[in-house]
A and B are shown apart, each in its own frame.
Chain A
Amino acid sequence: MPGAGKPGSGAVTADNAAGFDAIFDGKTLKGWDGDAAFWRVADETIVGETTAERPLKANTFIVWRGGTTKDFELKLEYRISTTNPAGNSGVQFRSSLLPDAGRWVMRGYQADIDAANTYTGQIYEERGRGFLARPGQAVRVAADGQLKLLASLGDPAVLKTFIRNRDWNQIHVIARGNIIVEFVNGHVTSLLVDDDTQGRAWDGLLGLQLHAGPPMKIEFRNILLKHWDATATSQPADWLTDGGNPKRTAWQQEERTVTTRNARDIELLWKITLNNLPREMHSLLPALVVGRASTREGPKQIVVVTGVSDNLYAIDAERGVLLWTKRFDHSSVGDTALRGGLMCPGGITATPVIGPATVGGRYTIYAVSWDGMLHQINVADGEDLAPPAKFMPPNGKPYALNLWKNVVYTHTAQGCGGHPNMAYAYDLATTRVGSWGPAGGGMWGRTGPAISSKGVMYTGTGDGPWDPERGLYGNGIIGVQQNPTTKALELVDYYAPSNAAWLFKRDLDMQVTPAIFDHKGRELMVAGGKECRVYLMDTESIGGDDHRTPLFRTPLLCNEGVNFASAGIWGAMASWVDSSGTRWVLAPFWGPKHSAFKAPGEHGDVTSGAIAAFKVEERDGGLQLTPAWISRDMNRAEPPVVANGVVFAYGSGESTTQATPELGLRANQADYRIKHSTHAVLYALDGQTGDELWSSGTQITSWNHWAGLSVANGRVYLGTFDGTLYCFGIKQ
């Protein structure tokens, strides 16, 4: 019987424990990580204790490793010895580790506990902003970090009387979004509304504190945690653009349904076969998701899928049924026969982009059709919201569209239609189209350009000579930006690896879509190429003064054979931050792992492809990408997406052969490669370890090319060559 409260006083009863998980088994510290010199289990309690012989010089914590505390409800009981009246402890939540300060040092929100009951019941921030809401206070932290008292919750002296000395007390914390409420023994003791955009945390680790100082003892038991089901009441998440966001991190930050704990329960929710005709090896482009679109029938979660034969499809995400279809008129294209070869299929090749909701919950799809026209279409019903507008030449090969501040960006490659390989920016306000190029053999990062916080569009330039003095930028990365006055796209930065000549000679293009992210006050970017290295750059100057020096360059991950096909990094990068604040970078690669590339976590031989995960870490005053894990083998690992600590990746099953000894380059034809393709397999991996949590096995019966993953609201989408869109997820 926890506590001694009367019914209704907040004691944990059978009723109000419903939905909670016990995260301490009462017997062992399994799932907990702390200094064994100070933490132990005794009498079904976690005991933290310092003694005169074994004092603590700095606060230490025992960290729960079973998950994170994003939106949650926590109940636990504590008992603190009063032998030392200065004894202090607390419960950390949404916290991070500070490895530079020690292995078990935490920073973040704390439900404070002290022997004197001066601070018990308050919301404090360890190693951060300090006192936030003292006992009896409802406080709002403003965007500028200033504390504003909202209301009094009671006299602290009176609240103090609810706390039992030398006995068990219950702490109860509810955190939802930026609002945190703390109860002690059923009495509200503090409330925090945290609008401090710089200082607050949405998610993080849970831990228990043992304070430095004179000998003390703290005990915890009946630790119960309930994760709040966000999808039930919050705004559903969107996936409005390939790569998830303009910076192309491929990280679904709003995911709350799928977790590393329930990923094993993923199942096929539905699949739908669409009437799109493939062209060459192209079929369905990556899906886009609007979490809540206002339709005539009410709000719906809608999946928008593009078919290469100039088709758009809208599907009800809940039921997997078709809502509407649209086929663009490409009569002006003229000759629509397959003449361009595998790399130039014709049709619509750029994944559209959806603009954020406007007044009335209306979402707009921006799509470039086969004839090069820009369309604006209502997600709700497929109707045109504006007449089609001239954008680029027909029959080209634009890549996934990006939208930033009312400008639609893309780039083209492979010289399809005989057109130069260009970067394009369509200014929706003025209908002017800026362009820059040609660049190299084409900019062919799978998920299109990535756009920085300053509006600079970055992309790899593909095959070509690097000679900036002559205006040649092949095998590098360029940053172009719209001139706000003229609307032209202008080169603002560029970088090429120091071995760009070698990359050109061996056709080891810099060709993936970069990922851009914030890291400790800097905006960083990662990119890669077929050579199979990852480059870390600062968007302030991606190549340094000489345009040849990134912040860091990894060794070769793969492609020991120096091949231009079926090896190297292809598609796009990904990046995410875990609950402890660690920044991760993910790179998909094809072919065998390089024999010299190692990671602490490996999952068997890699012969066909894998995901390589790195941590962004400081070393010797600089930043580096530290290998963390390499996934299991995947048959042509494609760009991953990340959701709530789960990495979704897939092997496309595509035959990527471009040459054989017998056929030479004649092997690089659709009929040959289709014949030798197998089927895709989707995997869910633990983002921390790369452990395989789940796979689709043989459920996907076709393969894909030019496809990609999308994730929102507990569902993952993947299209295949046979025109089928698969939806996997947690049944809700």
Chain B
Amino acid sequence: MRAPGGAAALACLGGVLVGANPAPAQDWTTAGYDAQRSSWVRADAKISRDSVRAPGFQLLWKVKVDVDSTQSSAVTPPVLLDLVIGHRGFRALGFVGAPSDHVVAIDTDLGRVEWERRLAPGAPSAGGSPACAREITPDFARSTNAAFPAPPGGRGGGRAGQAARSAVGEPGLGAVTLAQLGTRRTAAPSAPPKTPGPHVPPRPFPVVYVLSSDGMLHSLNVMNGADAEAPVPFLPPQSSARGLIVVDDVAYVATVSGCGDAPNGVWALELGSKQVATWRSASAIAGSVGPAIGPDGTVYVTTTTGELVALEPRTLKPRQTHRAGGAGFTSSPVVFEHAASVLIAASARDGRIHLLDSHRLASSKATESLNSASVAAAAVASWAAPDGTRWLLVPRAGAIVAWKVVDHDGVPTIQPGWVSRDMITPLTPIVISGVVFTVSSGEFRAQPSSPAVLYALDATTGKELWNSGTAMTSSARGGLSGGGGQVYVGTNDGTLYAFGFPMEH
């Protein structure tokens, strides 16, 4: 039982807090982890360079998701909810999408399916190209906010408790706790967190958002998958969506590939008013994780014709556009802090990394560096070492390449850091507590595709710390997610794998 007061209060009220307010950034809430698409989990109690290197990190469980599709069996990496106090108990959940509008909530401690459902059972099968059909997979997100997640040590760990000790009171004066009573101040109630714009009424339970193939945005009760409210029209049916994210009560997503009747662009749905705004792109949207959100709420998106566009929150009115020229972008943008600036990085088809200052987007000249890529990156990860060094991690055809962001005469530039061991078409890496996790996807080069392999690398040197060997038996496409001491990989045969440290149950 958890009770009001002290460390217990967090857990007791957790369900309400999670439901009513943005999730703490420690949770993996959307593709690329946070609003900025950094793929960087700042702190983890279990994962570190030393712990991953030592024996113990291993396959914990795998769950085969029932996939009803002839086009694809791939499952998405789960969006995570570290704690919900539900009617079935305390749960850590992962929400996974699979083709044919199949959504599954998995107890990530036990690898047990908590609930599953088909979102649009009457929806027609995906039209258009086979690629469209393959790409239409429910996209999950949990509510988050635009602020940069707190650095390591800045938050979290709030359940540490207080050390016990023995004491004795003076005769006739009762316990020492009675004597201390007069000196203890009553804590003022904390003010409710502010959220801009039209408010979504607080719910007594947390929700997770998911897009179905009919273009509806569902708000699902995380406890049982039931609709918390009627699904809201968001996209044209059969759209191929990328990077659903919910920031400050607004859902954003990009549409790509011209699937269905959806034009390429960015879409915004105010959850309070149900109003939809659209920014249409003359060219295709680049990258795999859709728009990135700056700490001020600005929406950034890249195109395959070399544009990096800054859009106004909610309305999606263009604020600034950077035209790179030359080869178009292949990756979604990533936003990060550097010194006093907010920078944006994206990868282009020619292998260059473009680095831009968010405040001078239109006028600034991008810093470019050759990534010597033969296969374009779909997303870029970014993390900062404890010494302040900012790193960018970019997958290329056969390895992960790490770059450092370095100031030259006050101008941020990028310099080579390290190149990882050889991999087959690696997916965008994620970073957890100084460890880079990346997947050698096994796709495309080998015929047929070979099984995926998860690697753990030292984030500052690229040195291999651990690999999953033959644990996975299928190739992977969907990417990774992680948190709470575990890393998740969804493979193309519909299996979700969880790696981490065993805990006695």
Contacts and interface: CB of A to CB of B under 8 A. Distances in A.
Contact of B15 (A437, A486, A665): A665
A564 B90 contact: yes
A212 interface: no
Please tell me the size bucket of the interface on B. 35 or more
A599 interface: no
Contacts of B15: 659, 664-665
A422 B165 CA distance: 10
Interface in A559-592: 561-565, 567
B244 to A, nearest CB: 23
Contact of B163 (A392, A435, A471): A471
A171 interface: no
Contact of B86 (A438, A465, A498, A659): A659
A464 interface: yes
Nearest to A391: B174
28 contacts: A343-B1, A343-B3, A391-B178, A414-B8, A415-B6, A415-B8, A418-B5, A419-B177, A420-B177, A431-B171, A433-B178, A436-B166, A441-B2, A442-B1, A463-B8, A472-B164, A487-B168, A491-B164, A502-B109, A502-B503, A507-B2, A562-B110, A659-B223, A661-B205, A661-B223, A662-B204, A664-B206, A665-B12
A488 interface: yes
Interface stretch (B35-43, B72-80, B154-162, B409-417): B154-162
Q: Which are the 4 A-B pairs with shortest beta-carbon distances?
A: A415-B5, A471-B163, A390-B174, A414-B3
B237 to A, nearest CB: 29
Given A418-B186, A564-B90, 6 more contacts: A416-B4, A419-B5, A473-B164, A505-B503, A661-B205, A662-B205
B425 to A, nearest CB: 36
Contact of B19 (A344, A415, A441, A664): A664
B164 A659 contact: no
A433 B163 contact: no
A474 interface: yes
B315 interface: no
A344 B5 CA distance: 11
B224 interface: yes
A665 B174 contact: no
B408 interface: no
B172 A390 contact: yes
B5 A480 contact: no
Contacts of B503: 499, 501-502, 505
B204 A463 contact: no
A105 B11 CA distance: 56
B174 A480 contact: no
B86 to A, nearest CB: 6
Contacts of B159: 464-465
Interface string A414-435: 1110111010100000111111
Nearest to A480: B166
A432 B179 CA distance: 13
B226 interface: yes
A358 B284 CA distance: 92
Contact of A435 (B2, B8, B166, B205): B166
A664 B205 contact: yes
A439 B164 contact: yes
A392 B178 contact: yes
Nearest to B92: A505
Interface in B122-179: 159-178
Nearest to B160: A465
B171 A666 contact: no
Contacts of B164: 436-439, 471-473, 491
Nearest to B181: A393
A430 B171 contact: yes
A256 B6 CA distance: 48
Contacts of A474: 161
A438 B162 contact: yes
A665 B168 contact: no
Contacts of A660: 87
Contact of A564 (B1, B13, B184): B1
Interface string B1-36: 111111111011101100100000000000000000
Contacts of A628: none
Contacts of A509: 1
B204 A422 contact: no
Contacts of A473: 164
A488 B174 contact: no
A433 B174 contact: yes
B505 interface: yes
Interface in B67-97: 85-90, 92
Contact of A561 (B4, B88, B163, B170): B88
A479 interface: no
Contacts of B85: 507, 564, 658-659, 664-665
Contacts of B48: none
A5 to B, nearest CB: 69
B387 interface: no
Nearest to B205: A664
Contact of A424 (B11, B175, B186, B203): B175
A665 B8 CA distance: 14
A601 to B, nearest CB: 29
A511 B1 CA distance: 8
Contacts of B226: 661
B504 A463 contact: no
B332 to A, nearest CB: 34
B225 to A, nearest CB: 9
B320 interface: no
A343 B4 contact: yes
A430 B172 CA distance: 8
A659 B87 contact: yes
A434 B166 contact: yes
Nearest to B14: A665
A338 interface: no
B221 interface: yes
A566 to B, nearest CB: 9
Interface string B189-232: 00000000000000111100000000000000101101000000
B168 A390 contact: no
Nearest to A556: B505
A506 interface: yes
B301 to A, nearest CB: 35
Contact of B1 (A372, A441, A667): A441
B178 A390 contact: yes
Nearest to B12: A665
Contacts of B205: 661-664
A344 B3 CA distance: 9
Contact of B89 (A392, A435, A437, A562): A562
A660 B224 CA distance: 10
Contacts of B168: 432-435, 483, 486-489
A243 interface: no
B162 A488 contact: no
Contacts of B109: 502, 505-506
Contacts of B6: 415, 420, 438, 441
A686 B16 CA distance: 45
Contact of A464 (B7, B16, B89, B92): B7
Given A372-B178, A507-B90, A415 B504 contact: no
Nearest to A504: B159
A177 interface: no
Contacts of B16: 664-666
Given A422-B175, A564-B85, A662-B204, A414 B162 contact: no
Contacts of B4: 340-341, 343-344, 414-416
Nearest to B223: A661
Given A465-B159, A474-B161, A488-B167, A392 B175 contact: yes
A363 interface: no
Nearest to B82: A505
A427 to B, nearest CB: 9
Given A441-B8, A488-B168, A435 B221 contact: no
Contact of A441 (B7, B90, B169): B7
